[in-house]
A and B are shown apart, each in its own frame.
Chain A
Amino acid sequence: MYTQELDVRGADSAAAADPGVLEQHFLARVDAEQKIEPKEWMPPRYRSMLIRQISQHAHSEIVGMLPEGNWITRAPTLRRKAILIAKVQDEAGHGAYLYSAAETLGVSRDELIDQLLSGKAKYSSIFNYPTTTWADVGAIGWLVDGAAIMNQIPLCRCSYGPYARAMVRICREESFHQRQGFDLMLHLARGTAEQKAMAQDALNRWWWPALMMFGPPDASSTHSGESQRWKIKRISNDELRQKFVDFTVPQAKFLGLDVPDPLLHWNEALQRHDFGPIDWNEFEQVLKGNGPCNAERLAARRSAHAEGAWVREAASAHAAKQRLRATRHAA
């Protein structure tokens, strides 16, 4: 590994400033599973693609705090309350790691947040759905975090160093998120008739949006080609979605709940579950901003940001005063 690294550096010394050659070396490093680090040469589209993907991921974590944060004050036991606070706190942390990773590409967190609040930036469609019952908290942990983990594990091997390292950290923390969601659902499914009905209702509402989390079908996905060539995206949308279905259907069976898909059945020949068509029109609408909660989510974030402005300014002002006092003292 050490020797391999040296050999490739040797090749660099022959490179002129010719972008064609630089790109070739870049591709060679990516192909050799080497990490690209900040300030190293990268194709401009690689950089912009990463900024878009990392920041969307960060925005999703931040917005994702809201549908679950809703239930902190109403959690039905102190233990569940503590678990939920810890989970949502982790999500804030994940957002922070991801903004940090994006900043290594030369963009500021303030810029990215402005893009989110102005409605220009996208975030995961799933968080535009309402959490109307306690069971929704379980469904999110089980299905949404489950889907997220499936997406995130391959990203730990992404070619861009800071993003890969952030993902490793995130994946380590994420495993408890899914388990607590499943545990919550299990308690409901084994509880009173009303609790079981609550769980089934949540599954009915969250199943399809969870499948949509993997993005449009491969055939219609515009960015995939380059993204896979550059080892940003390592596995296709459809492949991940299929994996998720195959993992999750037996879990639903274990819970004694029905997946809301009349066309779902086991394909013996292909050894996988065949499932019904996804309503891509709904997905499009939610992405455009016409989902059930898009407006509310954005309003909440704008509010927090606006109402917090005086606080952030006070902290900066105080820091400036302290610096001035320090120099006066030293003088």
Chain B
Amino acid sequence: MSAAADPQAKFRYVLRLGDLSLVLGQRLGEWVGHAPALEEDLGLANIALDLIGQARLLLSYAGEIEGCGRSEDDIAYLRGQGEYLNAVLAEQPNGDFGQTIVRQVLIDAFQTELYERLAASTDERLAAIAAKSVKETRYHLRYSGSWLVRLGDGTEKSHALTQAALERLWPYTVELFAEDDLDRAMADCGLAPRLAEVHAAWDARLDDLLSLATLKRPGDRAHSWHGKRGRHSEHLGYLLAEMQHLQRTFPGARW
């Protein structure tokens, strides 16, 4: 049961984690200077900073596993779109503050449950990264969860906007828990938790939060997003074009 993980597989798994934080952090970076209040500029920037930090740790590690000498920046900036393995939920546009908060809660709850279990990974490095990251992610969930409740149980307008955002983003959550061969292989060797377990815990948290926020849980819809396998929505292309621009324009330059 504890076969050592195949490096290629481990590499892809760590990329999934790192890219999720990278892309979500990139999205939050767009808010700075435009948030509804000064305090939210600070709050969102704080989360963005943590996520970029997680991306750096994870992508560095991925580079080491791969063993071809790629740095965190080589991996972050110089891959083609099909090589990014984040779930597509992260790349969805910010929209209004409500949409940003809904996206944040869905992913914060996922990362919290995932990292809590990853802290017991058979891979020491991953366990250490998860143990550090879960402290940050619990705070992110506190922040986004509080806002979900304020917006859901605030004014009629905020309730409507937030419910609409929830309906729009809910279909993307299916991908978070769709277990494929890679997820199974990582769970089999104790490197990662069973996604079903993470899903159950996530469900419970969401039910609590949605109830407090007086929001209705949308029905599940069949969908076929596979960002985890490099098949993305239209949004990632634009995001990467902006993110990669300088590195692509000045190949080999150091910054």
Contact = CB atoms under 8 A, between A and B. Distances in A.
Contact of A76 (B98, B158, B247): B247
B155 A314 contact: yes
Which of A88, A95, A310 has the most chain B CB atoms closer than 10 A to its own CB? Answer: A310
Contact of A65 (B33, B40, B77, B96): B33
Interface residues of A, number: 49
Interface string A299-318: 01001110111111111011
A316 to B, nearest CB: 8
Interface string B118-161: 00000000000000000000000000000001110111011001
Given A69-B32, A79-B56, A89 B45 contact: yes
B41 interface: yes
Contacts of A309: 36
A227 interface: no
Given A72-B29, A89-B41, A96-B38, A313 B154 contact: yes
Contacts of B52: 78, 81-82, 85
Given A73-B29, A78-B76, A313-B158, A304 B253 contact: no
A192 B49 contact: no
Contacts of B245: 74
Interface in A244-302: 300
A315 B38 contact: no
A303 B52 CA distance: 27
B139 to A, nearest CB: 15
A300 B254 CA distance: 32
A81 B253 contact: no
B65 to A, nearest CB: 18
A93 interface: yes
Chain B interface size, as a band, is: 35 or more
A64 to B, nearest CB: 9
A303 B149 CA distance: 24
B246 A76 contact: yes
A78 B55 contact: yes
A307 B29 CA distance: 18
Interface of B is mostly: helix
Interface string B217-242: 00000000000000000000000001
B254 A187 contact: yes
Interface in B50-65: 52-53, 55-56, 59
A192 B161 contact: no
B34 A303 contact: yes
Top 8 nearest A-B pairs (CB, nearest first) are: A308-B36, A314-B154, A314-B158, A89-B45, A69-B33, A311-B36, A76-B246, A65-B33
Interface of A: 62, 65-66, 69, 72-82, 85-86, 88-89, 92-93, 95-96, 99, 134, 184, 187-188, 191-192, 194-195, 300, 303-305, 307-315, 317-319, 321
10 contacts: A65-B41, A74-B243, A74-B246, A76-B250, A85-B32, A89-B41, A95-B38, A313-B155, A314-B151, A315-B150
